[in-house]
Chain A
Amino acid sequence: MRLTVPHMGLLSTAYTRVLRQHGVDMQPPPAATLKTLNLGVKHSPEFACLPFKINLGNMIEALDNGANAILMPGGYGPCRFGYYGVIQEQILRELGYRFRMSTTDNPDRLSDMIDTIREISRIRNRFDGYRVFFLILMRMAALDRATALYHYYKPREINREDTDTVLRQAVRLIDLADSYPRLFRTMPEITRMFRAIPIDKALNPVTVGVLGEIFVVIEPFANLAIEKKLGEMRVEVRRGVWLSDWLNDRFRFRPFRRNQTTYAKKLARGYLNYPAGGESIETVGKTLLFQKKGVDGVVHIMPFTCMPELVASTIITRISKDRDYPVLSLTFDEHVSEANIITRLEAFVDLLERRRDEGIYRH
């Protein structure tokens, strides 16, 4: 059985090597390209959201490369994600692929995840299951940590692309750190690598919070590498949603990190009093948080027809009006053009810079 799991940001880097060591024949899909997207779009329902289409493209490419089993998380939420697997399986069978499809219908439950890991790997012992799963989570947290460092150093770098090279190396190092001790040794090393980048210390960059639907936020292919683009415009990105936080809210593997969903719920009170699925509550709560903390503006990104983020987008437009706070909502689908996104980002950054020059701080 050659198992494939559709991509979600750097998640596959976190689990592939670890699971391979425990006897899972992993075949991650090739990194998403335009071809992936086109394949996905061609076979998807018209109004399905972008993550669905990219995931479907991932599956097709992986199956073409020899995978014969797919693992797709499911669930029962108001968002469409829980139903992805069913529709994707139907489409792939119609295309004539033969494969085994497994979905985890309770992806939020730790025991379910452990059972899934035991089912696909050689691990029989429940304790080993926990150990491996938590190692994967820690690796994900390490990847997110490296990305956060990237956000800090990217706008300040003197030689273009330096930071990107370091991030690639860091991801590689974390990928190789396949045990707890190695992972803990790697982290200081990565911090040192970022510190060694020559930077413009005098620069006080404009800061922008990036919020929205988690898949498009963490997947550079889906959002046309918006964080890199902002970095190149000398803007420091403050990302509001992290995959490791999302996992931590469910599995509590970082006991000292607060539950971000509960925190966002508290922050959003008065604007969104009940989570409307997906990352809607995070988007609203963190917009208010960024405004309070003096982040210059917020870029809100979402896939076209995303239901929870449309609710959030309506509400943060109001927040923007109420508090005179710059918010830019960008919708991503297969038709989005790079020039469009760059132009709008540039205009937005210009606006932020001017507000800063004129000393418009209303916090």
Chain B
Amino acid sequence: MKHLRIGIPRGLLFYSCAESWKRFFQDLGCETVPSPETTADILKEGIRHTVSDLCLPVKTFLGHVAVLKDCVDLLFIPRHVSMEQESYLCPKMIGLPDMTRACFANLPLVLDPLFHVKQFGDKAIDEFTRPVAEALSLSPARVADAYREHMDHHTEVPAEQRRRSERLLAEDAVVPRSSGKLNIGIIGRPYLLFDRYLSKNLFHFSRKLGVNPLSLRPDESEIREAMAVIPKWVYWDMGKEVVAAAHVFFKDDRVDGVINLCSAACGPDSFTGDLIRKRLNQRNKPYMSLSLDEHTSDVGVQTRLEAFIDMIAKVTA
């Protein structure tokens, strides 16, 4: 078999699954080529290729595709429809491979296996691995084995993200009151939070302001607990995690304030944001929703962050 170079655009689900994708393909004898971290040029390239008022993360994703498309043999853009029985991903992620094909004229082969637990249940893995096996001319059984080995637990997070999303309750992540530092919970979708360019380096900047930024990936029991508080199960995969993270932060006494980082015109977040603000924040903690689009400037974000911190200082004083 030819040694294949598989391009993985650094956007959207990359920030949740990249590490396992990488190991999965390595096991199958392929090399993965992630695109570089987002820059202004990549975003500009994405905006140039998009044709409609799509949201910021999708534009960024397409920018990454533009960077990769001429230097790889294959593009890996999986179609994740549902990760669990009772959930869906955002329609834009469901249509992502098709949108990518529609936006570019000369793409390498796009590998777009379907991942749909709601429809296929336990067979979802087979559905997912069959097209991969076909494209790489490997036996389906081998690909399925590699999948079970590396991807079955999506809790794997990329090293970079793991460093930042240390569990809230690990004592070293939270700073004690006595230190005079504020603990601020930052919630949002991984592809915004951990993209340094899109989040305008929010983590770094808040540390510079002497604040301890926290983020977390809620586990199953935390998600279930949060869903019990709101009237209806949130059926978007990532939206659910955002809501659960918000719930944990609002509940925890050591967290002084919560920032919700979302992209402007994000469909699910327009609704979950409302839920978070009205249903979950019952103790009236300082809460700020920060929406990003391609016109957002570093300075704008920084000013709002400073104002937010000043406000918390006033409230807690």
Whether the pair B99, A307 counts as a contact (CB closer than 8 A) is no
Whether the pair B91, A278 counts as a contact (CB closer than 8 A) is yes
B275 CB contacts on chain A under 8 angstroms:
86-87, 90
**One of B18-26, B82-90, B136-144 contacting the partner:** B82-90
Whether the pair A315, B264 counts as a contact (CB closer than 8 A) is no
Q: Which of A78, A87, A305, A313 has the most CB of B within 10 A?
A: A78
* Chain A residue at smallest Cβ distance from B102: A318
A274 CB contacts on chain B under 8 angstroms:
79, 81, 94-95, 98, 114
A254-274 interface code vs B (CB 8 A; 1 in, 0 out) = 000000000000000001111
B257-280 interface code vs A (CB 8 A; 1 in, 0 out) = 000000011111111011100110
Whether a CB of chain B sits under 8 angstroms from the CB of A310 is yes
Whether the pair B92, A317 counts as a contact (CB closer than 8 A) is no
Of the residues B79, B103, B235, B269, contact of A82 by C-beta under 8 Å: B235
* Interface residues on chain A, number (Cβ under 8 Å): 44
Whether a CB of chain B sits under 8 angstroms from the CB of A77 is yes
A85 CB contacts on chain B under 8 angstroms:
232
Whether a CB of chain A sits under 8 angstroms from the CB of B52 is yes
A79 to B90, CA, bound (A): 8
Chain A nearest CB from B220 CB (Å) reads: 19
Report the contact-size class of chain B (Cβ under 8 Å from the partner): 35 or more
Whether the pair B271, A87 counts as a contact (CB closer than 8 A) is yes
**One of A43-51, A62-70, A132-140 contacting the partner:** A43-51
Chain A nearest CB from B277 CB (Å) reads: 9
A27 to B35, CA, bound (A): 57
A293-332 interface code vs B (CB 8 A; 1 in, 0 out) = 0000000000011111011111101100000000001010
Whether a CB of chain B sits under 8 angstroms from the CB of A80 is yes
A312 to B52, CA, bound (A): 10
B101 CB contacts on chain A under 8 angstroms:
271, 318
Q: Which of B236, B274, B279 has the most CB of A within 10 A?
A: B274
Whether a CB of chain A sits under 8 angstroms from the CB of B300 is no
Whether a CB of chain B sits under 8 angstroms from the CB of A157 is no
A310 to B55, CA, bound (A): 10
Whether the pair B102, A47 counts as a contact (CB closer than 8 A) is no
A45 to B267, CA, bound (A): 11
A272 to B91, CA, bound (A): 12
A76 to B84, CA, bound (A): 13
A48 to B86, CA, bound (A): 23
Chain A nearest CB from B90 CB (Å) reads: 6
A262 to B246, CA, bound (A): 40
A68 to B175, CA, bound (A): 50
Whether a CB of chain B sits under 8 angstroms from the CB of A94 is yes
Whether a CB of chain A sits under 8 angstroms from the CB of B53 is yes
Whether a CB of chain B sits under 8 angstroms from the CB of A123 is no
Chain B nearest CB from A191 CB (Å) reads: 39
Whether a CB of chain A sits under 8 angstroms from the CB of B311 is no
Whether the pair B52, A89 counts as a contact (CB closer than 8 A) is no
Whether a CB of chain A sits under 8 angstroms from the CB of B180 is no
Whether the pair A331, B91 counts as a contact (CB closer than 8 A) is no
Whether a CB of chain A sits under 8 angstroms from the CB of B209 is no
What are 11 A-B residue pairs whose CB atoms fall within 8 Å in the complex? Answer: A47-B269, A78-B90, A83-B235, A94-B278, A277-B91, A278-B91, A306-B267, A310-B53, A314-B95, A317-B52, A318-B51
Told that A86-B232, A278-B91 touch, could you supply 10 new A-B pairs with CB distance under 8 A? A48-B271, A80-B267, A90-B231, A274-B98, A276-B91, A305-B270, A307-B92, A307-B267, A314-B51, A318-B101
